Amino acid sequence: MMEIREGYMPFMGYQTYYRMVGTQTGNKKPLILLHGGPGSTHNYFEVLDRLAEEDGRQLVMYDQIGCGESYVEDRPDLWNAEVWIRELEELRSHLGLSQAHLLGQSWGGMLLLEYLCNHEPEGIKSIILSSTLPASWMWGQEQMRMVRYLPQEMQDAIEKATASGDYSDPAYVEAEAEYMRRHAAETPKEDAPDCLRRPVRKGLEAYITGWGPNEFTPLGTLKDYDVTGQLRDIKAPALIVSGGDDLCTPYIAKYMYDRIPESRWELFRTCRHMCFVEENEQYIKLLKDWLNANDE
């Protein structure tokens, strides 16, 4: 039976929850998974658990401060890249992850790139940039471009909310929900894995303070995030993964692919924002091949 170990790391007077799946075997380096949001949780990464058993590779996932089992509220001063980077650094030290692969999905990929480009960590064997972005402005522009494929009344509702800053109108709520259904994910069905249906404590404060009111409008502490000029300096082998209907549009994925020297891009043509859920078998096979090729 696959070993699963859970625990908490003291962090800034609070606790960061982590979950380790499997054990490290041979020369296979662990894979650290950075979830999206800000304010999402590790839960959806549990669909990758069998990678630990099938590949003999340890997976390490955690709930970033502000959400899930690391929930904190009424601390807007915490919701910034500096705190989340410090948490990642301390987690690696706490768990003895001196050498590892990193996978960041959505905001987790932003965190990964910020860490790699501006903190020069040691021991990173490779990186997986899953449905992510190198600049907030680029993400905002691409989302607004895709909004134009919604019905006109939905476009109008989003434009009105964006101009006024009032996101309470039911017409806007419906329009945003439809946009996210098309490009992010839909409500999990009854036969979906338990980890996708399990109630979680999302960090709404972390999301709004860190990013903004929605995917189209980066207004938070991450609004100036931009590592586009540093992509060419990345030394670690990089696997870029995105979906054909993803919030991470093919333009964003190709932008990173064109500029990161040792990179490979895999486009899951029919997927949205969570390729590892929608094409789980294919995604796990891709990870196996990639990680085993980059352990040395």
Catalytic residue numbers? 106, 246, 273
Residue 261 and residue 276: Cα distance in Å, rounded? 24
Please say whether the beta carbons of 201 and 176 come within 8 A. no
Q: Specify the 3-state DSSP secondary structure of 125.
A: strand
CA 222/CA 137 separation, integer angstroms = 10
Strands 59-62 and 31-34 turn out to be parallel
Please count the other Cβ atoms lying within 10 Å of the Cβ belonging to residue 261.
12
Distance CA 59, CA 40 (A): 18
Rounded CA-CA distance 31/100 in Å is 6
From the list 283, 287, 265, the residue with the least C-alpha distance to 274 is 283
CA gap 70, 185 in Å, rounded: 24
Contact assessment for residue 21 and residue 52, using Cβ atoms and an 8 Å cutoff? yes
- d(CA 84, CA 210) in angstroms, rounded, equals 11
Structure tokens at 175: 């329009």
Contact by Cβ (8 Å): 138, 255: yes
Q: Three-state SS for 132?
A: coil
- Cα-based angle 44, 89, 264 (whole degrees, multiple of 5): 60
Closest CA to 45 of 200, 277, 206, 239: 277
